[in-house]
Amino acid sequence: MAADVKYRVLLVGVFNELSAYKYSFSLAISCLKTYADKVLGNSVNIRNLNILDTDEEKLIKAIREHKPSIIGFSCYLWNVGIICDFCHKVKNLFPEIKILLGGPEATGRREQLLKSCNADYLIVGEGEAVFVEILKHLSDNSPLRGIDGLILPDYSHEEASNVKAVLLPLENLPSPFSESGIPEGMHSEMFFPFETMRGCPNHCSYCLWTVFGSKSVRFYPLDRIASDLEYISKNAPKSGVFVADSDTFINKDRALKMSGMFRKAADEGQLRFVFQTNLRHWDESLMEAYNHELFEINFGINALTLKTQKVFGRNCSESQISAQLAEIRKKAPKVKVFLHIMYACPGESFVDFCNSLDWALSQPNTITLFFHTQLLYGTPMQKKAKELKIVCRNSPPYYVISSAECSAAEVKIEELMLICINTWLYDVNTKDRFRQIVMEEYGGSFSRAFMGLWKKMPSMSKKTLLSVYSELQDGPVFFIDNYVIDIVQEFPQKNDTQKYRCVEKIRSIFDF
Ligand code: B12
Ligand code: SF4
């Protein structure tokens, strides 16, 4: 590539609004820009744009200002619908601009997404190496067909299915934080995804990582992690850092070494860390090392029903889980413990769901987040959907509508239950009274309490609840999951009008 050629690229990260994570930042596009800048130097001019899904005007303004030859969109479940709309608008307004897609939805949907967005290029899996390769080829005017990791619109289904991700050693990747700088305006109380590793050795059937081509686990050097954490704590204090690893604690020695780095950043920069992990990896030494009030640990329980665990590719009994959790509560009392449980899962009946819910809500000092099971494109579970008799929405977020064990009507009751129980349990106006009713009238069973209250509910209240349900269903993608997440983490504020309105209505029917 000639040194004076400026290939202009606009990379776009698109978010929807979660009250818990208001100001977000796309780690994906930062990694891409930092790597391409390092390899291609001044021969490219890449601008990154982080926008909300409502910010179409900002996007158009940035295109007019930056005049890119290529726009790259980072596609996830939460934004792929709006990105498709953006792509069609861009093609209408600026037909000369080429569109590049990447991210988990691009990896899962491949040629089908490329076509529905009318885009020009799509990258499978990790993007750094392929992105640079495309830019090099475009600048040299050499043909793109055959570049590893790339799909073009004229690829057949078979050709697209055979495209494999290209993985680089992590030591070769420059840091999007300490070597690139945090984007302007993101210098305090931000929310940053942060990696200490890539890949996952497990193969949970619902997860895209199994097809990401990254089963081999690769780690970033420890000194880079230390300098990045120091950089964030100095330059964006009081921020939330979401550690985006498959499981930070998979390698115990490393996790123990990193604990001091995380603690230092939490103490000096008041950074709040969110980790994701499997309970199995936790022993006494880890519990003690990570016992810090600014650490939040998300334990992926996913399912208690053994039949479901089998479908997921997991195997851990309820008693093992309870015992391990009790140990963590004892040895790491300062950490905030979140349990992640999926509902509407294959293998789980309505009764199993109720049992899981009651188990989860009886765990002391924990918060449980329930996620609607989704059949992500490209995952083993999606491929086996027919065999498992799962019916799901065919557009994002691909929620399971019914399974062999649970009818659509039962899944709907599960959602109504989650909306009501979470609102009544976390709203200051209802929580004490609701708990008292559960304990005194329903022997501590939240699910039986809901079913009892639902039976007695006047028809006007039922109507109100069903109207909130359909408002949440028809709202932006994931609204029910997002509603519940926001409620348990940071109650929606008055200015968050739609969610707040829903909360008010659910609160009002509690007094029927
Ligand atoms: C951080 C994170 C979040 C944050 C998002 C905030 C944020 N600012 O990013 C939070 C906690 C809010 C979140 C929520 C959810 N998340 Co999430 N999350 C992640 C996580 C852990 C890290 C993402 C990340 O930054 N990775 C690091 C970067 C470097 O990797 P990457 O994103 O894959 O990007 C690389 C490639 O994909 C590619 N690439 C990406 N974009 C582009 C663009 C171009 C142009 C190119 C060329 C290449 C390219 O190159 C990048 C560099 O190699 C991933 C799992 C994971 N570790 O990736 C799940 C993941 C993205 N989340 C997922 C899901 C399902 C959810 C939820 C829907 C869960 C739920 N049921 O509620 C919610 C949705 C919330 C909402 N907004 O509505 C799925 C998405 C699946 C999909 N098909 O999109 C993932 C992949 C987890 C999984 N195991 O399946 N999540
Ligand atoms: S769900 Fe977690 S443990 Fe399972 S394959 Fe995905 S990243 Fe790995």
| CA gap 425, 484 in Å, rounded | 11
Report if residue 32 sits inside a domain.
yes
Which residue's CA is the closest to the ligand 1 atom numbered 12? 21
Average pLDDT for 453-470: 94
Give the per-residue pLDDT at 496: 63
DSSP string computed for 223-288: HHHHHHHHHHHHHSTT-EEEE--S-TTSSHHHHHHHHHHHHHHHHHH--EEEEEE-GGG--HHHHH
Top mutation candidate among 52, 73, 76 for ligand 1, by most atoms within 8 Å of CB? 76
Looking at the CA of 197, name the nearest ligand: 1
Helices and strands in the chain, H and E counts: 20, 16
Contact in structure between 424 and 510 (CB atoms under 8 Å): yes
Per the structure, how many domains does the chain have? 3
Give the per-residue pLDDT at 511: 75
**Structure confidence at residue 492 as a pLDDT band (50, 70, 90):** low
Q: In this structure, what CATH number is given to the domain that contains residue 134?
A: 3.40.50.280
Average pLDDT for 482-502: 74
Give the per-residue pLDDT at 215: 67
Q: What tens digit of pLDDT does each residue of 112-153 get?
A: 999 999 999 999 999 999 999 999 999 999 999 999 999 999
CB of residue 30 inside a 6 A radius of ligand 2 = no
| CA gap 391, 374 in Å, rounded | 10
Give the tokens for residue 54.
């409502």
Least confident of 313-322, 404-413, 471-480: 471-480
Give the per-residue pLDDT at 1: 44
Looking at the CA of 246, name the nearest ligand: 2
CB of residue 355 inside a 6 A radius of ligand 2 = no
Give the tokens for residue 129.
């190496």
- Using the predicted structure, report yes or no on whether residue 494 has a pLDDT greater than 70: no
Residues 127, 259, single domain; the answer is no
| CA gap 133, 334 in Å, rounded | 47
Range of the domain at 467: 407-512
Q: What tens digit of pLDDT does each residue of 300-356 get?
A: 999 999 999 998 888 888 999 999 999 999 999 999 999 999 999 999 999 999 999
Q: What is the CB < 6 Å shell around ligand 1? A: 11, 16, 18, 21, 24-28, 31-32, 72-74, 76-78, 100, 102-105, 108, 123, 126-128, 131, 193, 195, 207-209, 242, 244, 371, 376, 478, 481-482
- Using the predicted structure, report yes or no on whether residue 495 has a pLDDT greater than 90: no
Q: Which residue has the higher pLDDT, 477 or 97?
A: 97
The sheet with strand 98-102 has its strands ordered as 44-52, 7-15, 70-74, 98-102, 121-123, 150-151
Give the per-residue pLDDT at 499: 77
- Asked if the bond preceding 397 is cis, omega within 30° of 0, the reply is yes
Average pLDDT for 462-489: 83
Report if residue 469 sits inside a domain.
yes
Residues 367, 442, single domain; the answer is no
322 C-beta neighbours (distance < 10 Å), count: 14
What is the model's pTM? 0.95
Residues 209, 135, single domain; the answer is no
Which residue's CA is the closest to the ligand 2 atom numbered 2? 246
Residues 198, 316, single domain; the answer is yes
Q: In this structure, what CATH number is given to the domain that contains residue 289?
A: 3.80.30.20
Residues 64, 24, single domain; the answer is yes
Residues 324, 385, single domain; the answer is yes
Nearest-atom index, ligand 2, CA of 278:
3
Report if residue 468 sits inside a domain.
yes
Residues 380, 309, single domain; the answer is yes
CB under 8 Å to 142, separation ≥6 — which residues? none
Give the per-residue pLDDT at 497: 73
Contact in structure between 68 and 27 (CB atoms under 8 Å): no
- Kindly give the distance from the C-alpha atom of residue 162 to the centroid of ligand 2, in angstroms, as a whole number: 23
Q: State which of 400, 423, 456 marks the end of a domain.
A: 400
Q: Give me the percent of the chain exceeding a pLDDT of 90.
A: 76
Give the per-residue pLDDT at 250: 95
Looking at the CA of 343, name the nearest ligand: 1
Report if residue 177 sits inside a domain.
no
Report if residue 163 sits inside a domain.
no
- Kindly give the distance from the C-alpha atom of residue 278 to the centroid of ligand 2, in angstroms, as a whole number: 9
Q: Which residue has the higher pLDDT, 480 or 48?
A: 48
Residues 392, 425, single domain; the answer is no
- Kindly give the distance from the C-alpha atom of residue 17 to the centroid of ligand 1, in angstroms, as a whole number: 15
Residues 384, 415, single domain; the answer is no
Residues 130, 245, single domain; the answer is no
Residues 389, 352, single domain; the answer is yes
| CA gap 411, 344 in Å, rounded | 6
Q: What tens digit of pLDDT does each residue of 255-269 get?
A: 999 999 999 999 999
Q: Which residue has the higher pLDDT, 306 or 17?
A: 306
Report if residue 2 sits inside a domain.
no
Give the per-residue pLDDT at 5: 56
**Structure confidence at residue 22 as a pLDDT band (50, 70, 90):** low
Looking at the CA of 15, name the nearest ligand: 1
| CA gap 24, 13 in Å, rounded | 9
Q: Give me the percent of the chain exceeding a pLDDT of 70.
A: 94
Report if residue 165 sits inside a domain.
no
Q: What tens digit of pLDDT does each residue of 200-238 get?
A: 988 889 988 766 666 689 999 999 999 999 999 999 999
Report if residue 338 sits inside a domain.
yes
CB of residue 301 inside a 6 A radius of ligand 2 = no
φ and ψ of 139, to 5 deg: -65, -35
Residues 421, 455, single domain; the answer is yes
Q: How many residues does the chain have?
A: 512
CB of residue 244 inside a 6 A radius of ligand 2 = no
